Structure 1
């Protein structure tokens, strides 16, 4: 350390304080990185790795990026899951004694990003703090770009499982957990398994102390107690929220007062959807390529603002379970759907509304520029027009939205008076404040304008006095204003000209008169830039004082935007208003899959009915061939239920939806190689989770349970599952159960509440046509070979499969026990065609044994029989 240069010592002192960050160290016009940071950053950013003398024998690895382009490089590092600490000069170099003082002014982490270039416009960027405690788990999460802050906690049974489900729903970019609660890696591994893109940080345990959390929340919200926040009985999330606010203050090193409200929510107010269900239903992205197109969000998103788009995604992620709240949304959608003209006018005003949530967030944080304020002004100018249109509606939700919106005339007027209509992006170059706003700005601009005219006049006068027609007056930042004369005219230069600079083809001079004009111009420019920045920050502070009210208005606009989006899509796609009930009845008439229907632009989607309740129709066994549409139908039912509970109309002729507290899906098969689990193990793990977590109010979708093991094992498991779930003694939940085990259709009439349905098909010779219609009754075969043929499998393979199937069916022990007479010639196959897997020769031996009449066989005949069977057995080897 003693050998290091002063600058490198300063770098390492700052780096020691932020060991988990890549340190951007400001040197002149660059941010430099050294040692391990440089090696890492050079690789991740694909920039040159160089070196710098640091006082040691070897040069220190170094790389750097221009400060004016740093945001792009920081964004790349954040996307890769790194933290970045920004170390700036915090004193004027001209006044510094020795090395310029530097300090870290902010830390940027995946969850604390506020720069628009690093954020996705239509998605929230959440950071979560989780407190793992012996009494349970408390969580708090915030999007500091919008000011959202929510908390909840988990106690009792299945605490960690419930936490993971909530983490999947929130999908935070970053989770901070208390250091001392879980020393082993199991918790971190479980979190990463469900939130693979989340950055996990272990934070100081003292920040999670309940007492510290109480104190932190009181100070932040300026309260004497937590009763006003509704947290007096929720100590776990209080500790979590205290840690979160502390972490945000430590990273941002500025006020986070725009987090003005904390909302405690009960998880039972929202439908529970685990990771598997969210993935299978493709709510916000598709399974195959994780694209937005093809998801439910893609279908429903007709929003006109970024705020509305983010809220729509949130609503899809957490459907409601309280009928009153659902009904209010549905009534609002109905009112907007009916009034097309007003809806179109509202959409026009919403299109003119910028992202108020993030605008006011940047203003409160002190990052907003002049254009941000102009965008805020133009957006708020739409509010009075929106409020006038909303006055025509009488439903509760739209009245409440209207009441929550303020016209913000004071904010609009403040910006209108101070900020020019087209301000520059930079705050340090002037030209932001209207000259009528402040008398000194008017005078200074006049001085600058006159000064420039003085320069033009002086140049004309000097040309006339000296007779040098090529004489010109110029300016640069190093020398200021100067008079330039070409070398061919140097003999005409007056004696009072003072030489300033020699060029290859010219000389530059100054005069006392020119220096006086320069002093007035530059002094005015420097002063006006300083004054405009000062005035702008004052205006920004005035606007920032209205943060809370603007955020309330922004939230109201977002809700209105989503409701209009629901009304729009319902009108276009002929969706119907569902009837919400608490009686467990799900009755859908001519229901359609919202995504598949939209993707089928050139063909007609076949609608189907659904009847589920907790009485005679609580368990549907669905049979039929592959590719016929069983999985589509099951997903369709769950999406219709989910759409109803987010407050949207549904794709059906009519729908009665009994509120569902949880949706579970076991659809499709896949390995989990990362966890070392086979397809069957994954299937059984997911099934176990469903059985343990489901309630009588849940909706369960099960597809091909038991297919990952032997036929009889699989059938036994599937049979037992049907018995368990359909039984009120154990569960009694509403269930759709798709299977190829046709034996299960025998359970209708044996188990109460079990009903058989199948996918209708039409046979045409050896081919089948899928009718996509769900009908009562069970299928008697799976048509697997016909499906293989439709899929393009070789005709030779298909024909061979038919032979083998005929052979297996003919030799089925059940058929033999029923006394069916099978002629050997009907199943005879040549020796070359036989597959040892099916033990055809062994079956022949058994058949021969069964033909022997033991009681009427002589010893010689018995020896002949035995000899013949021994020869047959040798052929089996």
Structure 2
């Protein structure tokens, strides 16, 4: 019920009105009969045996009209029906069922009529949807000063004064959002190591890059002064901290599972947004994992994807001076009267200070906790130099010569290809399964070829 609009069909309107106002009809009929017969205590009743009836006390029986039909005699009253009352009763009692039945019949007729025009309707709907999207793109671009991006087929990703499409609208003033630029390519600038304190804008910067790329490939103008974007085959992100209580996975396990999926599915044409990899475990473990992940991504024989890699492990800054294609940037801050001011400006070079204690002070930590934290940090910083020198000494060579790690990885891929072929039941394999296996083996062969330095 309720699927047919008022005014479309007269019978539906009448039945709907009766369903809603049925009791009012009976009461109005009761008042009408009282007035016409002069029986002041006449009243309408209902039971399952007789349905609706008029009840008249025995002292008023002489006023009962001839068209009243007696149905029941009581001690002090008698009950009557009339043709008009029965007609109303039939309409009221069956109205709801009749309404639903009639509405379904009408709906079926409409549905059959519409189905005959289905191809035209679908084509029109598709055209309207496309027009709606394009008009929305144009409206936003004109109102918020977006630019037309240049789409390329190489590994270029250059954005001049890019902005976050959502955050800049949340800020009250038109010029409150600080725009930042980016330059990535497939050669000397593939992977950016981004350092800076919490709340400085690292996550916003990385996400705005992802949004700009996504908007550009969707056909929209982008929030920037200019943008040249080499097409990416996927945008993969690992950001935020959350656990999976129902699945029994900790924050760190969720992080590692997502990171494993990214490294497995990413290609050299992907864009990776990685925010503080390894922070869910101890410092040594986290640093080691972040370091290894960065080497894997930076190595063109393994991946070589364009990547923004935010971290608080400042020891990794030295990889920007060691690994090919890796470079450092930081989000700038200013110190004024012992306090920090976030400038939200991305600058070249790494940052040696996370200003974590200053952020804790801004958050309202007790002064005694802040002072003690500074004392402890001075002691911890004395050992920081050892970790920095370790990174410099141990960074994996990527000069094109195969090291033991690369050789072992290439052999492992080859073993996997052979194992998959041995396990394949070619006599009972469906064509679609054979095609899927072939695609998987081709991907593995491509990885091995890249790892062996043959590309």
TM over 0.5: yes
For the pair 1:806 / 2:440, whether they are aligned, the reply is no
Alignment of 1:223-262 (within 5 A): none
With normalisation by structure 1, the TM-score equals 0.37
Aligned equivalent of 2:230: 658
Is residue 604 from structure 1 mapped to residue 176 from structure 2 by the alignment? yes
| Aligned-partner Cα distance in 2 for 1:807–1:519 | 97
Alpha-carbon separation, structure 2, partners of 1:710 and 1:475: 81
2:161 to 590, 611, 623: 590
Deviation at 1:619, TM superposition (A): 0.9
Q: CA deviation at 1:622?
A: 0.9
Structure 1 counterpart SS, 2:13:
coil
Matched ranges for 1:481-560 at <5 A: 484-491=55-62, 499-502=70-73, 506-509=77-80, 514-515=82-83, 537-545=104-112, 546-547=114-115, 548-549=118-119, 550-560=121-131
* 2:218 paired residue among 628, 642, 646: 646
1:618 is displaced (CA, Å) by 1.3
Q: 1:723 aligns with which of 295, 299, 306?
A: 295
Distance 1:640 1:420, change over 3 A: farther
Cα distance in 1 for partners of 2:167, 2:292 equals 33
8 Å contact 2:39–2:60 — kept in the other structure?
A: no
**Alignment match, 2:271:** 699
Q: Is the 8 A contact 2:274 2:308 kept in 1?
A: yes
8 Å CA contact retained: 2:158, 2:229: yes
Instruction: Give 3-state SS (helix, strand or coil) of 1:423's partner.
Output: helix
Aligned with residue 9 of structure 2, among 419, 430, 445 = 419
1:834-853 matches, within 5 Å, as: none
Question: Following superposition of structure 1 onto structure 2, how do residues 67-466 of structure 1 map, counting pairs within 5 Å?
Answer: 369-371=3-5, 419-420=9-10, 423=13, 463=37
- C-alpha change, 1:584 and 1:809, in structure 2 (3 Å) is closer
Instruction: Choose from 190, 193, 202 the match for 1:621.
Output: 193
- Residue-pair matches, total: 377
Per-residue CA shift, 1:185-239, capped at 9, x if unaligned?
A: xxxxxxxxxxxxxxxxxxxxxxxxxxxxxxxxxxxxxxxxxxxxxxxxxxxxxxx
Match of 2:401 in 1: none
Instruction: Give the deviation of 1:428 after TM superposition.
Output: 9.5
What is the root-mean-square deviation of aligned Cα atoms in Å?
A: 4.3
Query: Post-superposition shift, 1:759?
Result: 0.7
Instruction: Give the secondary-structure state (helix, strand or coil) at the position aligned to 2:199.
Output: coil
Q: In the TM superposition, what whole-angstrom CA distance separates every residue of 1:567-624 from its partner, at most 9, and x where no partner exists?
A: 4444443333333332232222222222322332358111111222222321111111
Partner of 1:233: none
Quote the offset at 1:480 in angstroms: 6.1
Give 1:770 shift: 1.0
Does the CA contact (< 8 Å) of 1:606 and 1:772 recur in 2?
yes
Decide whether aligned partners of structure 1 residues 623 and 488 sit closer, same or farther in structure 2, where only a CA change above 3 A counts. same
1:811 deviation in Å? Answer: 6.5
* TM-score between both structures, scaled by the size of structure 2: 0.68
Q: How much does 1:554 deviate?
A: 4.1
Given the superposition, is the C-alpha separation of residues 629 and 494 from structure 1 closer, same or farther in structure 2, using an over 3 Å criterion?
closer
560 and 368 in structure 1: CA distance in 2 versus 1, 3 angstrom threshold: farther
**How many Å apart are 1:744 and its aligned residue?**
2.6
- Measured in 1, the distance between the counterparts of 2:151 and 2:41 equals 86
SS at 2:368's partner residue? Answer: helix
Shift of 1:731: 0.8
Distance 1:641 1:724 in 2: 23
- Distance (Å, rounded) in 2 between the aligned partners of 1:671 and 1:520: 67
CA distance in 2, matches of 1:672, 1:526: 55
- Supply the distance in 1 between the matched residues of 2:15 and 2:179 (Cα, whole angstroms): 54
- How much has 1:651 moved relative to structure 2? 2.2
Q: 1:641 to 1:495 in 2, by over 3 A?
A: closer
CA offset digits 1:10-65 (Å, max 9, x no partner)? xxxxxxxxxxxxxxxxxxxxxxxxxxxxxxxxxxxxxxxxxxxxxxxxxxxxxxxx
Find the residue that maps to 1:685 and give its secondary structure. Answer: helix
What is the alpha-carbon distance in structure 1 between the residues aligned to residue 377 and residue 30 of structure 2?
100
Higher-RCO chain (CA-CA 8 Å, sequence separation at least 6): 2
- What whole-Å deviation, never above 9, does each CA across 1:77-134 have from its counterpart, x for those lacking one? xxxxxxxxxxxxxxxxxxxxxxxxxxxxxxxxxxxxxxxxxxxxxxxxxxxxxxxxxx
Per-residue deviation at 1:368? Answer: 6.8
Quote the Cα distance in structure 2 between the aligned partners of 1:806 and 1:527: 86
Q: CA deviation at 1:786?
A: 1.9
SS in 1 for 2:353: coil
SS at match of 1:748: helix
CA gap of 1:536–1:495, structure 2 versus 1, over 3 A, is: closer
1:285-309 CA distance string (max 9 Å, x none): xxxxxxxxxxxxxxxxxxxxxxxxx
8 A contact 1:474–1:482 mirrored in 2: yes
Closer, same or farther: CA 534–621 of 1 in aligned 2, 3 Å: closer
For 2:53 and 2:110, the matched residues in 1 are separated by: 44
Q: Tell me, what secondary structure is at the counterpart of 1:632?
A: helix
Distance 1:601 1:479 in 2: 71
Post-superposition offset of 1:472: 5.9
Contact 1:430 1:528 (C-alpha < 8 Å) held by counterparts: no
Structure 2 residue matching 1:370: 3-state secondary structure: coil
Q: Distance in 2 between matches of 1:654 and 1:506?
A: 93
Distance 1:422 1:583, change over 3 A: farther
Contact 1:761 1:768 survives alignment (8 Å) = yes
1:630 pairs with one of 198, 202, 207? 202
**Distance in 2 (alpha carbons) for counterparts of 1:773 and 1:421:** 69
Aligned residue number for residue 790 of structure 1: 362
**2-structure distance, mates of 1:685, 1:530:** 56
Determine helix, strand or coil for the equivalent of 1:617.
Answer: coil
Runs of 5+ unmatched residues, structure 2: 22-28, 390-455
**CA deviation digits over 1:226-263, x for unaligned, max 9?**
xxxxxxxxxxxxxxxxxxxxxxxxxxxxxxxxxxxxxx
- Closer, same or farther in 2 for the Cα pair 1:502/1:541, shift >3 Å? same
SS at match of 2:328: strand
Measure the CA separation in 2 of the matches of 1:770 and 1:524. 75
**1:493, CA displacement in angstroms?**
5.3
In the alignment, the residues of structure 2 paired with residue 733 and residue 812 of structure 1 have an alpha-carbon distance, to the nearest angstrom, of 30
Query: By how many angstroms is 1:761 displaced?
Result: 1.1
C-alpha distance in 1 between matches for 2:157 and 2:223: 14
Residue in structure 2 matched with residue 378 of structure 1 by the alignment: none
